[in-house]
Amino acid sequence: MREVPERIRRLPEQYFTALLARVAAAAARGGEPLVDLGRGNPELGPPEHVVQTLTECAGRHDVHGYAPFSGLPALKEAIATRYGELYGVHIDSAREVAVVPGTKTGLMEFALCAVEGGGTIVLPDPGYPDYFSAVALAGAKQVAFSGFDVTADAMYLNFPSNPTAAAVTDGLFEEAIEWADQTGAWILHDFAYGDLVFDGRRPQSFLAVEHARRVGIELFSMSKTYGMAGWRLGFALGNAELVRRIELLQDHAFAGIFRPVQEAGIAALTGPQNSVEERRATYERRRDRALVALEGIEAQSEGTFFVWLRLPDGITVEDLLVRHRVAVAPGEGFGARGAGWARLSLAVRDDILDRGLERLCAAFA
Ligand SMILES: Cc1ncc(COP(=O)(O)O)c(C=O)c1O
């Protein structure tokens, strides 16, 4: 048997692959059809004009070769303009934007570009499990966030948060920037759910805070705001040195993004924006429905398309799956502090959500 390189061996179990496999195995055992509220896979696609741009562009003969490795300048300008208009952030599109094939890739690249092997990265706990993979790939050590009295080389922040659905608290970005300035650490703010905030909150970009770009970058995803998860398109914005390193890594490891996807990305960013608010409002409405149905259970959601809930004593996610035929994402997979909690997805059709909530209520009764 040929030896497996250490960098592959140290990768953790991929949380979502394992979750999908458990749900598929339970479904295959037969019985009532399962209701899957475990996955965060947007069920609403992008607006029609975006799909149309993709198909029209794909029909051209001159778009099938390699696209420019670092992305179309017009795409970078489009996201920079959006940042200016929506978040009040001025971005130099030539120096402060890297186009990435999804922010999942971007968050791996950040670890590789910012931290030396053996370095330390602070992660949210509970937090998005792919951060564990990024730390492992970079050969770094992870520490769970417990305030800014910590020595590290980088820190991941994520608001609104997957899985806790919490919005950023006042002053937290400022504190993080001060910490990074004093320690020389880098910061990554994962803004994947940035536009999906509830109860009258306004989207809060990390880069809107003074000096943020001196210490880090923000990831913006097309997956959630525009329902383009399968398209694999996102951005790393902010610190010009980190942007340059990410583009350098991509020049070696990737060969650009299919041009029609980039053109459609421009159409999404610059065209009518009513779908963004409609999508946000849809998730807020479903969040309201879920919180009403789960009355009496400790549950929260200030944004994203998730509800984070505490499992009543004696109830496990496995029980819910096997006995009650409803899948939710187990909290401990997001970090030690997630134990005893679960994440429920609102990115499903209303009737599926309702059926899932009925089963949860029956299980909790
Ligand atoms: C917190 C968080 N960050 C990043 C991502 C990756 O998003 P994408 O690679 O589709 O841009 C996800 C996807 O679920 C996420 O939940």
For ligand 1, mutation pick of 190, 217, 221 (most atoms within 8 Å of CB): 221
pLDDT of residue 28: 84
State how far the alpha carbon of 166 is from the alpha carbons of 156, 157, 359, in Å: 15, 12, 25
Cα 62 to ligand 1 centroid, rounded to whole Å: 31
CA–CA gap between residue 204 and residue 86 (Å, rounded): 9
For the cut 90, the answer to whether the pLDDT of residue 75 exceeds it is yes
Q: What is the mean pLDDT of residues 95-115?
A: 98
For ligand 1, mutation pick of 104, 132, 220, 233 (most atoms within 8 Å of CB): 104
For the cut 90, the answer to whether the pLDDT of residue 27 exceeds it is no
Q: Which residue has the tokens 């536009």?
A: 195
Q: What is the mean pLDDT of residues 37-56?
A: 94
Cα 316 to ligand 1 centroid, rounded to whole Å: 26
**Helix H or strand E encompassing 18:** helix 15-28
Nearest-atom index, ligand 1, CA of 190 = 3
Cα 165 to ligand 1 centroid, rounded to whole Å: 13
Cα 334 to ligand 1 centroid, rounded to whole Å: 14
CA–CA gap between residue 171 and residue 174 (Å, rounded): 5
In sign, the C-alpha dihedral spanning 203, 208, 212, 213 is: positive
Nearest CA among 229, 4, 195, 213 for reference residue 104: 229
pLDDT of residue 61: 97
149-168 pLDDT, tens digit each: 999 999 999 999 999 999 99
Cα 103 to ligand 1 centroid, rounded to whole Å: 6
For the cut 90, the answer to whether the pLDDT of residue 25 exceeds it is no
Report percent pLDDT > 90 for the chain. 92
State how far the alpha carbon of 173 is from the alpha carbons of 179, 211, 221, 240, 342, in Å: 10, 10, 19, 19, 26
Cα 248 to ligand 1 centroid, rounded to whole Å: 22
Nearest CA among 12, 32, 46, 25 for reference residue 128: 12
CA–CA gap between residue 94 and residue 259 (Å, rounded): 18
Which residues contact residue 260 at a Cβ distance below 8 angstroms, ignoring those fewer than 6 apart? 53, 54, 55, 57, 58, 63
pLDDT of residue 1: 82
CA–CA gap between residue 116 and residue 139 (Å, rounded): 8
Lowest mean pLDDT among 39-48, 245-254, 295-304, 332-341: 39-48
Cα 15 to ligand 1 centroid, rounded to whole Å: 13
Ligand 1 binding pocket, CB closer than 6 Å: 40, 102-104, 128, 158, 162, 190, 192, 221, 223, 229, 234
Closest residue by Cα to atom 16, ligand 1, is 162
Greater confidence (16 vs 295) lies with 295
At residue 14 the predicted structure's pLDDT band, cuts being 50, 70 and 90, is confident
CA–CA gap between residue 79 and residue 279 (Å, rounded): 19
At residue 21 the predicted structure's pLDDT band, cuts being 50, 70 and 90, is confident
Contact status, residue 162 vs residue 195, Cβ threshold 8 Å: no
At residue 13 the predicted structure's pLDDT band, cuts being 50, 70 and 90, is confident
For ligand 1, mutation pick of 190, 197, 206 (most atoms within 8 Å of CB): 190
Cβ burial of 242 (10 Å; 0-12, 13-18, 19+) is: buried
Q: What domains sit in the chain, N to C, each tagged with a CATH number?
A: 6-45+275-364 (3.90.1150.10), 48-270 (3.40.640.10)
- Give me 113's structure tokens: 């570009």
Strand partners, 187: 155, 216
For ligand 1, mutation pick of 103, 107, 191, 233 (most atoms within 8 Å of CB): 103
Lowest mean pLDDT among 28-37, 80-89, 283-292: 28-37
User: Where are any strands of DSSP class E within the chain?
Assistant: 35-36, 97-100, 120-123, 141-144, 154-158, 186-190, 216-221, 234-238, 299-300, 306-310, 326-327, 329-330, 341-345
288-338 pLDDT, tens digit each: 999 999 999 999 999 999 999 999 999 999 999 999 999 999 999 999 999
Cβ burial of 114 (10 Å; 0-12, 13-18, 19+) is: buried
CA–CA gap between residue 204 and residue 303 (Å, rounded): 12
Q: What is the mean pLDDT of residues 72-76?
A: 98
Please state whether the predicted TM-score (pTM) of the whole model is above 0.95: yes
pLDDT of residue 71: 96
Nearest-atom index, ligand 1, CA of 40 = 14
For the cut 90, the answer to whether the pLDDT of residue 180 exceeds it is yes
Q: What is the mean pLDDT of residues 76-90?
A: 98
Strand partners, 100: 234
Closest residue by Cα to atom 15, ligand 1, is 192
